[in-house]
Structure 1
Amino acid sequence: MIETSLTLFEQHGFHGVSVNEIVKECGTSKGGFYHHFSSKDELLFVIHDYFISYVLTKAQEAISASAHPTEKMQKIIQSFVKVFDLYKPHISVFYQESIYLKPPYVEAIKKKRQMYKEIIFSVIQEGIDKGEFRSELPVEITGMSILGMVNWSYKWYKRDGGKTIEEIGEIYVDLILQALLTDKQKKDAITQPYLLKNQMVVD
């Protein structure tokens, strides 16, 4: 049902598609639709929730599984980038149609997005506190820059492009860590396998 809705919303827009058209296209009934969703608004919210829940879960896993802020940031960025491949239709539809969401759903979305933002900020601050990241970088501006840069991927990423999503993730990791890491941390990269894996170039 969600996949059918994504296709129809992409083609005709949120208001250009009725519940009747959704259930007809996917071969179910209106009763089946309303068993899962109270309204089209809830359906649009669930479409967003798929991808924000994915990146939030992956970020929380990175924090739990990794001791070093550098490694945490690497894993967070890689999972963040991967979402644009896993949930590309969801993201495209959400950004095109999110203006139609009602306030309760908007607030629920803002809450999860704020949680994700705070994870990014906390990892940057931890990296500064532990001497891995440059202390002169303002945490919030740096975090918002990372979010903005990676988020824009939904505008240009194509599955049949010249780079795989994993290769694009490695490029983002390299760009962001080169900006974040202290000179000492870059020179110490040879002792840190999670940096070497991304082939960071150190003078």
Structure 2
Amino acid sequence: MKKKPVKERIIETALIMFEQHGYHGVTVDQIVDECGTSKGGFYHNFRSKDELLYHIHDVFISYLLNKAKESYDKETDPVSRLCAIITSFTRIFDLYKPHITVFYQESTYLKGDFEERINEKRDEYRKLLLQVLREGQSTGDFRQEVPAEISTMAIMGMINWMYKWFKKDGELSIETIASIFNDMMIHSLLTEKAMKLGRGDRFLLKTEPV
């Protein structure tokens, strides 16, 4: 079997070790010993352990932001945009759960320019989601009495908490979980008029025929 590239092995090893022992509980020497490379190999790919932690964070945040932008451009109405963004947000836990877990456990150790760059992307994502909700309120699709700012934080908090409980081998698939989240948001946010017009019908959970 072909050996994985050094950078990939370093990242995979660091994810496991950071999650188990914490960022400050792991040294570069321990990482290179565990993954079978050298300190030279480590510093060829990362200037420091801080840059490695930044990379772990940046991989999934950049992917998430790009997917949200793709959803916004692909869909043509606020309801479809919101549901597509929620779906892509949920799916990331199937792809990058170790990265996300390390992020929430160790993000306080990210400092300086690294912290600033990550926060900029997180803020850009939050603003895009907020924009979609406000657009939906202006079109009459989303309820005006529910503040868009609160809805934004509620959606992000609801999905982010998956890092605590989602398991790939669990009872529910990632697609089913995304559908549940969308169903919840549609029933919470859509106006009666939008519901009657079937704005979110394709994202609702399907009921079994009696």
C-alpha deviations, 1:62-110, integer Å up to 9, x for none? 1111111100001100011111121111111111111212222111111
2:147 is aligned to 138
Aligned mates of 2:129, 2:191 — CA distance in 1 = 18
Aligned pair partner of 1:75 in 61, 84, 102: 84
Aligned residues: 198
Q: Which SS does the other structure have where 1:87 is aligned?
A: helix
After TM superposition, the score normalised by the length of structure 1 is 0.92
The percentage of counterpart residues that share the same residue type is: 52
Q: Deviations over 1:41-81 (max 9, x none)?
A: 11111111111111101100011111111000011000111
- Alignment TM-score, normalising by the size of structure 2: 0.89
In 1, are the aligned partners of 2:97 and 2:163 still within 8 Å (CA)? yes
Partner of 2:120: 111
The within-5 A match list for 1:157-196 is 157-189=166-198, 195-196=201-202
Structure 1 residue 198, shift from structure 2 partner: 3.2
Are 2:96 and 1:87 equivalent residues in the alignment? yes
Relative to structure 1, is the Cα distance of residues 138 and 82 closer, same or farther in structure 2, using a 3 angstrom cutoff?
A: same
Once residues 10 and 141 of structure 1 are traced to their aligned partners in structure 2, the CA distance between those partners, rounded to angstroms, is 31
Once the 2 structures are TM-superposed, how far is the Cα of residue 197 of structure 1 from its aligned partner?
4.6
Name the CA distance, whole Å, in 1 between partners of 2:142 and 2:186. 8
Q: 1:177 & 1:200 partners in 2: Cα distance?
A: 14
Mapped contact 1:174–1:200 kept (Cα < 8 A): no
Q: Structure 1: 5+ residue runs without aligned partners? A: none
| Divergent runs of 4+, >6 A | none
